[in-house]
Chains A and B, each alone.
Chain A
Protein backbone atom coordinates (compact mmCIF):
# COMPACT_ATOMS: atom_id res chain seq x y z
CA UNK A 1 0.00 0.00 0.00
CA UNK A 2 1.37 3.40 -0.91
CA UNK A 3 0.66 6.47 1.11
CA UNK A 4 1.13 10.03 -0.01
CA UNK A 5 3.02 12.22 2.40
CA UNK A 6 2.48 15.93 2.32
CA UNK A 7 5.21 18.23 3.60
CA UNK A 8 3.10 18.80 6.70
CA UNK A 9 2.92 15.04 7.34
CA UNK A 10 6.71 14.87 7.23
CA UNK A 11 7.16 17.87 9.51
CA UNK A 12 4.50 16.64 11.94
CA UNK A 13 6.18 13.26 12.30
CA UNK A 14 9.59 14.86 12.67
CA UNK A 15 8.29 17.09 15.45
CA UNK A 16 7.16 13.97 17.34
CA UNK A 17 10.67 12.57 16.87
CA UNK A 18 12.14 15.86 18.05
CA UNK A 19 10.10 15.61 21.25
CA UNK A 20 11.60 12.18 21.96
CA UNK A 21 15.07 13.55 21.25
CA UNK A 22 14.42 16.34 23.70
CA UNK A 23 13.07 13.94 26.34
CA UNK A 24 16.02 11.59 26.00
CA UNK A 25 18.48 14.51 26.12
CA UNK A 26 16.93 15.93 29.28
CA UNK A 27 16.83 12.52 30.97
CA UNK A 28 20.44 11.75 30.09
CA UNK A 29 21.64 15.19 31.08
CA UNK A 30 19.87 15.29 34.46
CA UNK A 31 20.61 11.70 35.47
CA UNK A 32 24.11 12.00 34.00
CA UNK A 33 24.65 15.09 36.12
CA UNK A 34 23.66 13.22 39.29
CA UNK A 35 25.80 10.18 38.50
CA UNK A 36 28.55 12.53 37.35
CA UNK A 37 28.60 14.21 40.78
CA UNK A 38 29.08 10.82 42.43
CA UNK A 39 31.84 9.92 39.99
CA UNK A 40 33.44 13.31 40.65
CA UNK A 41 33.31 12.76 44.41
CA UNK A 42 35.09 9.44 43.98
CA UNK A 43 37.53 10.85 41.43
CA UNK A 44 38.77 13.67 43.70
CA UNK A 45 37.99 12.00 47.04
CA UNK A 46 40.30 10.66 49.70
CA UNK A 47 40.41 6.98 48.77
CA UNK A 48 43.14 6.10 46.26
CA UNK A 49 41.43 2.89 45.08
CA UNK A 50 38.22 4.80 44.41
CA UNK A 51 40.11 7.55 42.60
CA UNK A 52 41.72 4.93 40.35
CA UNK A 53 38.42 3.16 39.69
CA UNK A 54 36.70 6.39 38.73
CA UNK A 55 39.59 7.39 36.53
CA UNK A 56 39.22 4.05 34.75
CA UNK A 57 35.46 4.61 34.45
CA UNK A 58 36.01 8.00 32.81
CA UNK A 59 38.71 6.72 30.46
CA UNK A 60 36.54 3.78 29.46
CA UNK A 61 33.65 6.01 28.43
CA UNK A 62 35.85 8.63 26.78
CA UNK A 63 37.89 6.02 24.92
CA UNK A 64 35.12 3.95 23.34
CA UNK A 65 32.41 4.91 20.84
CA UNK A 66 29.01 5.86 22.24
CA UNK A 67 27.51 3.31 19.86
CA UNK A 68 29.49 0.50 21.53
CA UNK A 69 28.34 1.71 24.94
CA UNK A 70 24.71 1.59 23.84
CA UNK A 71 25.15 -1.88 22.30
CA UNK A 72 26.78 -3.15 25.49
CA UNK A 73 24.00 -1.80 27.71
CA UNK A 74 21.38 -3.15 25.33
CA UNK A 75 22.85 -6.64 25.04
CA UNK A 76 24.37 -6.71 28.52
CA UNK A 77 21.03 -6.29 30.29
CA UNK A 78 19.44 -8.84 27.97
CA UNK A 79 22.05 -11.34 29.18
CA UNK A 80 20.49 -11.20 32.62
CA UNK A 81 17.29 -12.45 31.06
CA UNK A 82 15.55 -9.08 31.16
CA UNK A 83 14.17 -7.67 27.93
CA UNK A 84 15.12 -4.01 27.69
CA UNK A 85 13.17 -1.61 25.53
CA UNK A 86 15.33 0.59 23.30
CA UNK A 87 14.43 3.80 25.14
CA UNK A 88 15.61 2.38 28.46
CA UNK A 89 18.90 1.10 27.05
CA UNK A 90 19.42 4.47 25.37
CA UNK A 91 18.65 6.37 28.58
CA UNK A 92 21.02 4.21 30.65
CA UNK A 93 23.80 4.29 28.06
CA UNK A 94 23.60 8.04 27.53
CA UNK A 95 23.41 8.66 31.29
CA UNK A 96 26.65 6.75 31.85
CA UNK A 97 28.30 8.49 28.87
CA UNK A 98 27.22 11.92 30.14
CA UNK A 99 28.29 11.20 33.71
CA UNK A 100 31.84 10.33 32.64
CA UNK A 101 32.28 13.49 30.57
CA UNK A 102 30.67 15.79 33.15
CA UNK A 103 32.79 14.31 35.95
CA UNK A 104 35.92 15.02 33.93
CA UNK A 105 34.82 18.58 33.08
CA UNK A 106 33.99 19.29 36.72
CA UNK A 107 37.22 17.77 37.95
CA UNK A 108 39.07 20.35 35.90
CA UNK A 109 36.98 23.09 37.50
CA UNK A 110 37.62 21.84 41.04
CA UNK A 111 41.34 21.52 40.35
CA UNK A 112 41.40 25.07 39.02
CA UNK A 113 40.69 26.30 42.56
CA UNK A 114 44.01 27.40 44.07
CA UNK A 115 45.61 25.05 46.60
CA UNK A 116 45.66 27.85 49.18
CA UNK A 117 41.87 27.63 49.40
CA UNK A 118 42.13 24.01 50.53
CA UNK A 119 44.91 24.82 52.97
CA UNK A 120 43.13 27.84 54.43
CA UNK A 121 39.89 25.93 54.92
CA UNK A 122 41.62 22.96 56.51
CA UNK A 123 43.45 25.31 58.87
CA UNK A 124 39.97 26.39 59.97
CA UNK A 125 39.41 22.75 60.98
CA UNK A 126 36.83 22.16 58.28
CA UNK A 127 36.13 18.56 57.32
CA UNK A 128 36.46 17.45 53.68
CA UNK A 129 32.69 17.68 53.22
CA UNK A 130 32.61 21.17 54.74
CA UNK A 131 35.51 22.32 52.59
CA UNK A 132 33.68 21.07 49.53
CA UNK A 133 30.33 22.50 50.53
CA UNK A 134 31.42 25.96 51.68
CA UNK A 135 34.71 26.72 49.97
CA UNK A 136 35.52 24.69 46.88
CA UNK A 137 32.21 23.93 45.14
CA UNK A 138 30.76 27.46 45.25
CA UNK A 139 33.84 28.71 43.41
CA UNK A 140 34.15 25.72 41.11
CA UNK A 141 30.46 25.99 40.16
CA UNK A 142 31.06 29.43 38.69
CA UNK A 143 33.66 28.25 36.22
CA UNK A 144 31.79 25.00 35.56
CA UNK A 145 28.62 26.56 34.16
CA UNK A 146 29.88 27.46 30.67
CA UNK A 147 31.55 24.11 29.80
CA UNK A 148 28.58 22.22 31.28
CA UNK A 149 26.12 24.06 29.05
CA UNK A 150 28.54 23.51 26.18
CA UNK A 151 28.58 19.78 26.83
CA UNK A 152 24.78 19.61 26.75
CA UNK A 153 25.10 20.16 22.98
CA UNK A 154 27.14 16.95 22.79
CA UNK A 155 24.41 15.12 24.70
CA UNK A 156 21.67 16.28 22.32
CA UNK A 157 23.78 15.24 19.33
CA UNK A 158 24.68 11.96 21.06
CA UNK A 159 21.02 10.97 21.30
CA UNK A 160 21.04 10.55 17.50
CA UNK A 161 23.11 7.39 18.00
CA UNK A 162 20.17 5.89 19.94
CA UNK A 163 18.41 5.60 16.57
CA UNK A 164 20.76 2.71 15.76
CA UNK A 165 19.46 0.57 18.62
CA UNK A 166 15.95 1.31 17.40
CA UNK A 167 14.76 4.22 19.51
CA UNK A 168 12.38 6.32 17.39
CA UNK A 169 13.81 9.76 18.06
CA UNK A 170 14.48 12.42 15.42
CA UNK A 171 17.13 10.60 13.36
CA UNK A 172 15.25 7.29 13.35
CA UNK A 173 12.01 9.02 12.42
CA UNK A 174 13.91 10.78 9.63
CA UNK A 175 15.28 7.47 8.36
CA UNK A 176 11.83 5.90 8.25
CA UNK A 177 10.31 8.94 6.53
CA UNK A 178 13.13 9.06 3.98
CA UNK A 179 12.40 5.44 3.08
CA UNK A 180 8.66 6.00 2.89
CA UNK A 181 8.73 9.23 0.88
CA UNK A 182 11.82 8.71 -1.30
CA UNK A 183 12.82 12.27 -0.39
CA UNK A 184 15.99 11.76 1.63
CA UNK A 185 17.43 15.17 0.73
CA UNK A 186 14.41 17.01 2.09
CA UNK A 187 13.90 14.76 5.12
CA UNK A 188 17.51 14.68 6.34
CA UNK A 189 17.77 18.40 5.66
CA UNK A 190 14.78 18.93 7.96
CA UNK A 191 16.25 16.55 10.54
CA UNK A 192 19.47 18.60 10.54
CA UNK A 193 17.43 21.78 11.00
CA UNK A 194 15.65 20.13 13.93
CA UNK A 195 18.93 19.42 15.70
CA UNK A 196 20.20 22.88 14.84
CA UNK A 197 17.16 24.45 16.49
CA UNK A 198 17.89 22.50 19.68
CA UNK A 199 21.67 22.94 19.71
CA UNK A 200 22.35 26.41 18.39
CA UNK A 201 20.78 28.31 21.31
CA UNK A 202 22.72 26.09 23.73
CA UNK A 203 26.03 26.70 21.94
CA UNK A 204 25.34 30.39 21.79
CA UNK A 205 24.42 30.53 25.47
CA UNK A 206 27.56 28.58 26.41
CA UNK A 207 29.75 30.98 24.43
CA UNK A 208 28.12 33.96 26.13
CA UNK A 209 28.61 32.46 29.59
CA UNK A 210 32.20 31.73 28.69
CA UNK A 211 32.85 35.37 27.83
CA UNK A 212 31.00 36.60 30.90
CA UNK A 213 32.78 34.44 33.48
CA UNK A 214 36.11 34.48 31.75
CA UNK A 215 35.99 38.25 31.63
CA UNK A 216 35.11 38.85 35.27
CA UNK A 217 37.19 36.11 36.87
CA UNK A 218 40.51 37.73 36.07
Chain B
Protein backbone atom coordinates (compact mmCIF):
# COMPACT_ATOMS: atom_id res chain seq x y z
CA UNK B 1 0.00 0.00 0.00
CA UNK B 2 1.46 3.31 -1.03
CA UNK B 3 1.08 6.22 1.33
CA UNK B 4 1.34 9.76 0.06
CA UNK B 5 2.95 12.13 2.45
CA UNK B 6 1.29 15.50 2.62
CA UNK B 7 3.34 18.08 4.47
CA UNK B 8 1.30 20.94 2.95
CA UNK B 9 -1.41 19.92 5.41
CA UNK B 10 1.03 20.72 8.21
CA UNK B 11 2.36 23.93 6.65
CA UNK B 12 -1.20 25.32 6.76
CA UNK B 13 -0.91 25.37 10.53
CA UNK B 14 2.49 27.07 10.69
CA UNK B 15 1.16 29.83 12.92
CA UNK B 16 0.02 27.39 15.57
CA UNK B 17 3.37 25.63 15.36
CA UNK B 18 5.30 28.88 15.76
CA UNK B 19 3.17 29.92 18.73
CA UNK B 20 3.60 26.50 20.31
CA UNK B 21 7.38 26.64 19.87
CA UNK B 22 7.48 30.12 21.43
CA UNK B 23 5.44 28.90 24.39
CA UNK B 24 7.79 25.94 24.86
CA UNK B 25 10.73 28.36 24.80
CA UNK B 26 8.94 30.61 27.29
CA UNK B 27 8.32 27.65 29.61
CA UNK B 28 11.96 26.60 29.60
CA UNK B 29 13.24 30.17 30.00
CA UNK B 30 11.21 30.77 33.15
CA UNK B 31 11.63 27.17 34.30
CA UNK B 32 15.40 27.20 33.88
CA UNK B 33 15.86 30.61 35.50
CA UNK B 34 13.86 29.74 38.61
CA UNK B 35 14.90 26.09 38.66
CA UNK B 36 18.63 26.83 38.60
CA UNK B 37 18.16 29.50 41.29
CA UNK B 38 16.35 26.98 43.48
CA UNK B 39 19.08 24.47 42.72
CA UNK B 40 21.81 26.94 43.70
CA UNK B 41 20.12 27.51 47.04
CA UNK B 42 19.69 23.77 47.54
CA UNK B 43 23.29 23.06 46.57
CA UNK B 44 24.65 25.59 49.09
CA UNK B 45 22.40 24.20 51.82
CA UNK B 46 23.57 20.70 51.15
CA UNK B 47 27.26 21.42 50.55
CA UNK B 48 27.62 23.61 53.65
CA UNK B 49 25.10 21.64 55.74
CA UNK B 50 22.89 24.61 56.57
CA UNK B 51 20.23 23.34 58.97
CA UNK B 52 17.42 22.53 58.48
CA UNK B 53 17.57 23.11 54.73
CA UNK B 54 20.20 20.44 54.06
CA UNK B 55 17.93 17.61 55.24
CA UNK B 56 14.90 19.10 53.52
CA UNK B 57 16.73 19.41 50.22
CA UNK B 58 18.10 15.86 50.49
CA UNK B 59 14.57 14.50 50.84
CA UNK B 60 13.29 16.75 48.07
CA UNK B 61 16.04 15.68 45.66
CA UNK B 62 15.43 11.98 46.30
CA UNK B 63 11.67 12.36 45.96
CA UNK B 64 11.83 14.26 42.66
CA UNK B 65 14.60 12.25 41.05
CA UNK B 66 12.83 8.96 41.70
CA UNK B 67 9.39 9.87 40.32
CA UNK B 68 8.40 10.72 36.73
CA UNK B 69 7.87 14.32 35.67
CA UNK B 70 4.41 13.44 34.34
CA UNK B 71 3.30 12.22 37.77
CA UNK B 72 4.72 15.35 39.43
CA UNK B 73 2.78 17.44 36.94
CA UNK B 74 -0.48 15.53 37.53
CA UNK B 75 -0.01 15.72 41.28
CA UNK B 76 0.42 19.49 41.12
CA UNK B 77 -2.37 20.12 38.61
CA UNK B 78 -4.98 17.57 39.72
CA UNK B 79 -3.92 16.76 43.27
CA UNK B 80 -3.18 20.13 44.85
CA UNK B 81 -6.68 21.61 44.30
CA UNK B 82 -7.83 19.11 46.96
CA UNK B 83 -5.78 21.17 49.40
CA UNK B 84 -7.40 24.34 48.12
CA UNK B 85 -4.46 25.26 45.87
CA UNK B 86 -5.99 25.85 42.46
CA UNK B 87 -3.54 26.39 39.64
CA UNK B 88 -3.97 27.25 35.99
CA UNK B 89 -2.30 25.00 33.42
CA UNK B 90 0.61 27.40 32.86
CA UNK B 91 1.21 27.89 36.56
CA UNK B 92 1.15 24.15 37.13
CA UNK B 93 3.50 23.53 34.19
CA UNK B 94 5.98 26.16 35.38
CA UNK B 95 5.90 24.97 38.98
CA UNK B 96 6.41 21.35 37.91
CA UNK B 97 9.38 22.32 35.73
CA UNK B 98 10.96 24.47 38.43
CA UNK B 99 10.50 21.77 41.06
CA UNK B 100 11.91 19.12 38.72
CA UNK B 101 14.90 21.10 37.48
CA UNK B 102 15.52 22.43 40.99
CA UNK B 103 16.17 18.92 42.24
CA UNK B 104 18.54 17.94 39.44
CA UNK B 105 20.44 21.23 39.53
CA UNK B 106 20.82 20.95 43.32
CA UNK B 107 22.81 17.78 42.74
CA UNK B 108 24.73 19.13 39.77
CA UNK B 109 25.75 22.43 41.40
CA UNK B 110 26.54 20.72 44.70
CA UNK B 111 29.14 18.63 42.88
CA UNK B 112 30.65 21.86 41.56
CA UNK B 113 30.75 23.53 44.98
CA UNK B 114 32.30 20.50 46.63
CA UNK B 115 35.02 20.40 43.98
CA UNK B 116 36.31 23.80 45.12
CA UNK B 117 39.44 23.34 47.24
CA UNK B 118 39.18 24.61 50.81
CA UNK B 119 42.44 26.51 50.31
CA UNK B 120 40.81 28.78 47.73
CA UNK B 121 38.33 30.04 50.31
CA UNK B 122 41.05 30.41 52.95
CA UNK B 123 43.25 32.30 50.51
CA UNK B 124 40.36 34.61 49.64
CA UNK B 125 39.58 35.38 53.27
CA UNK B 126 43.25 36.06 53.96
CA UNK B 127 42.99 38.68 51.21
CA UNK B 128 40.26 40.29 53.32
CA UNK B 129 37.47 39.49 50.88
CA UNK B 130 34.05 39.74 52.47
CA UNK B 131 31.84 36.68 52.74
CA UNK B 132 29.51 37.75 49.91
CA UNK B 133 32.55 38.45 47.74
CA UNK B 134 34.06 35.06 48.50
CA UNK B 135 30.76 33.40 47.81
CA UNK B 136 30.29 35.12 44.49
CA UNK B 137 33.79 35.03 43.05
CA UNK B 138 35.46 32.06 44.71
CA UNK B 139 32.60 29.63 45.20
CA UNK B 140 29.62 30.18 42.94
CA UNK B 141 31.26 31.28 39.73
CA UNK B 142 33.94 28.58 39.54
CA UNK B 143 31.36 25.97 40.65
CA UNK B 144 28.91 26.96 37.92
CA UNK B 145 31.78 27.10 35.44
CA UNK B 146 32.72 23.48 36.24
CA UNK B 147 29.21 22.08 35.96
CA UNK B 148 27.84 24.31 33.20
CA UNK B 149 27.88 21.54 30.52
CA UNK B 150 25.95 19.18 32.84
CA UNK B 151 23.51 21.95 33.70
CA UNK B 152 23.02 22.70 30.00
CA UNK B 153 22.18 19.05 29.25
CA UNK B 154 19.71 18.93 32.11
CA UNK B 155 17.95 22.10 30.94
CA UNK B 156 17.59 20.60 27.45
CA UNK B 157 16.22 17.37 28.96
CA UNK B 158 13.65 19.34 30.96
CA UNK B 159 12.65 21.31 27.85
CA UNK B 160 12.06 18.08 25.91
CA UNK B 161 10.21 16.65 28.91
CA UNK B 162 7.90 19.67 28.93
CA UNK B 163 6.12 18.10 25.94
CA UNK B 164 3.98 16.17 28.44
CA UNK B 165 2.57 19.50 29.68
CA UNK B 166 0.23 19.15 26.69
CA UNK B 167 -1.62 16.63 28.87
CA UNK B 168 -2.86 19.35 31.21
CA UNK B 169 -3.76 21.52 28.16
CA UNK B 170 -0.86 23.93 28.43
CA UNK B 171 -0.75 25.08 24.83
CA UNK B 172 2.90 24.45 24.05
CA UNK B 173 4.43 22.77 21.00
CA UNK B 174 3.11 19.25 21.57
CA UNK B 175 -0.34 20.61 22.31
CA UNK B 176 -0.20 22.38 18.94
CA UNK B 177 0.79 19.08 17.30
CA UNK B 178 -2.13 17.25 18.90
CA UNK B 179 -4.50 20.00 17.83
CA UNK B 180 -3.22 20.03 14.25
CA UNK B 181 -3.34 16.28 13.75
CA UNK B 182 -6.92 16.23 15.04
CA UNK B 183 -7.79 18.72 12.30
CA UNK B 184 -5.83 17.50 9.28
CA UNK B 185 -5.74 13.78 10.14
CA UNK B 186 -2.07 13.74 9.15
CA UNK B 187 -0.68 12.46 12.43
CA UNK B 188 2.62 11.14 11.11
CA UNK B 189 3.54 14.23 9.10
CA UNK B 190 2.55 16.50 11.97
CA UNK B 191 4.52 14.63 14.60
CA UNK B 192 7.61 14.27 12.46
CA UNK B 193 7.57 18.01 11.77
CA UNK B 194 7.19 18.77 15.46
CA UNK B 195 9.88 16.26 16.40
CA UNK B 196 12.27 18.07 14.04
CA UNK B 197 11.24 21.38 15.57
CA UNK B 198 12.14 20.02 19.00
CA UNK B 199 15.49 18.89 17.61
CA UNK B 200 16.15 22.44 16.38
CA UNK B 201 15.01 23.90 19.70
CA UNK B 202 17.35 21.54 21.54
CA UNK B 203 20.30 22.57 19.36
CA UNK B 204 19.36 26.23 19.68
CA UNK B 205 18.96 26.17 23.46
CA UNK B 206 22.22 24.25 23.84
CA UNK B 207 24.05 26.77 21.66
CA UNK B 208 22.59 29.74 23.53
CA UNK B 209 23.50 28.25 26.90
CA UNK B 210 27.05 27.60 25.69
CA UNK B 211 27.32 31.23 24.62
CA UNK B 212 25.85 32.39 27.89
CA UNK B 213 28.22 30.14 29.80
CA UNK B 214 31.27 31.48 27.94
CA UNK B 215 30.29 35.06 28.43
CA UNK B 216 28.79 35.31 31.89
CA UNK B 217 29.82 32.22 33.79
CA UNK B 218 33.45 31.70 32.87
CA UNK B 219 33.97 35.27 31.70
CA UNK B 220 36.30 34.17 28.92
CA UNK B 221 34.71 35.88 25.93
CA UNK B 222 34.74 39.38 27.39
CA UNK B 223 35.46 42.06 24.76
Interface residues of A (CB under 8 A from B): 59-60, 63-69, 71-72, 75-76, 78-81, 153, 157-158, 160-161, 163-164, 171, 174-175, 178, 183-185, 187-189, 191-192, 195-196, 199-200, 203
**Do the beta carbons of A60 and B66 come within 8 Å of each other?**
no
Using CB atoms, name the residue of chain B closest to A202: B66
**B48 sits at the interface (CB 8 A):** no
| A63 partner residues in chain B, CB cutoff 8 A | 156, 160, 198-199, 202-203
If A158-B68, A160-B70, A184-B82 are given as contacts, then 5 extra A-B residue pairs at C-beta distance below 8 Å, sorted by A number, are A63-B203, A72-B192, A78-B187, A188-B79, A196-B67
Q: What are 7 sample pairs from A and B whose C-beta atoms fall under 8 A apart?
A: A68-B198, A75-B188, A79-B3, A161-B164, A174-B71, A175-B74, A199-B66
Output the least CB separation between B111 and chain A (Å). Answer: 12
- Mostly helix, strand, loop or mixed at chain A's interface? helix
Residue B212 is within 8 A (CB to CB) of chain A in the complex: no
CB of A65 within 8 A of CB of B174, answer yes
Contact A65 B198 (CB under 8 A): yes
**How far is B202's CA from A185's CA once the two chains are assembled, in angstroms?**
33
- Are B66 and A72 touching (Cβ within 8 A)? no
A143 to chain B minimum Cβ distance, whole angstroms, is 18
Q: B26 at interface (Cβ–Cβ under 8 A)?
A: no
| Set B66, B162, B191: member contacting A75, Cβ < 8 A | B191
Chain B at the A interface: mostly helix, strand, loop or mixed? helix
For chain B, give the interface size range.
Answer: 35 or more
Nearest A residue to B24, CB-CB: A65
Between B67, B174, B194, the greatest number of chain A beta carbons within 10 A of the residue's beta carbon is seen for: B67
Q: CB-CB < 8 A to A76: which residues of B?
A: 188
Q: How far is the CB of A169 from chain B (nearest CB, A)?
A: 10
| Contact yes or no, A188 B71, CB < 8 A | yes
Bound-state CA distance A78–B1 (Å) is 12
Whether B72 pairs with A192 at a CB distance below 8 angstroms is: yes
CB-nearest residue of chain B to A68:
B195
Flag whether B63 is at the interface (Cβ < 8 A): yes
Contact A60 B199 (CB under 8 A): yes
Assess A203 versus B82: contact at CB under 8 Å? Given A65-B198, A67-B164, A160-B70. Answer: no
Q: Counting chain B CB atoms within 10 Å of each CB, which of A65, A157, A184, A199 scores highest?
A: A65
Smallest Cβ distance from B184 to chain A, in angstroms?
A: 13
Q: Does B161 contact A (CB under 8 A)?
A: yes
Q: Is B83's CB within 8 Å of the partner chain A?
A: yes
**Would A68 and B66 count as touching, CB distance under 8 A?**
no
B167 A164 Cβ-Cβ under 8 A: yes
- With beta carbons under 8 angstroms apart, the residue of A75, A158, A191, A200 that contacts B71 is A191
B152 interface residue per 8 A CB criterion: no
Docked complex Cα distance between A185 and B75 (Å): 7
Instruction: Scan B56-92; emit 1 where CB is below 8 A from any A CB, else 0.
Output: 0000001101111111101100111111000000000
Per-position binary interface string of chain B over residues 157-179, scored 1 when its CB falls under 8 Å from any chain A CB and 0 otherwise: 00011111011000000100100
Question: Does A188 contact B74, Cβ atoms closer than 8 Å?
Answer: yes
- A164, A189, A195: the one contacting B164 at CB < 8 Å is A164
Is the beta-carbon distance between B75 and A188 smaller than 8 angstroms?
yes
A203, B67: Cα distance in complex, Å: 11
Assess the A196–B167 pair: CB atoms within 8 A. no
Decide: A171 and B74 in contact? CB cutoff 8 A: yes
Q: Give the docked Cα–Cα distance between A199 and B61 (Å).
A: 13
Closest B residue by C-beta to A196: B66
Instruction: From A63, A69, A160, A203, name the one whose CB has the most chain B CB atoms within 10 angstroms.
Output: A63
A171 to chain B, nearest CB (A): 6
Shortest beta-carbon distance from B172 to chain A in Å: 11
Q: How far is the CB of A77 from chain B (nearest CB, A)?
A: 10
For the complex, what is the distance from the CA of A65 to the CA of B196, rounded to whole Å? 10
CB distance from B194 to the nearest CB of A (A): 6
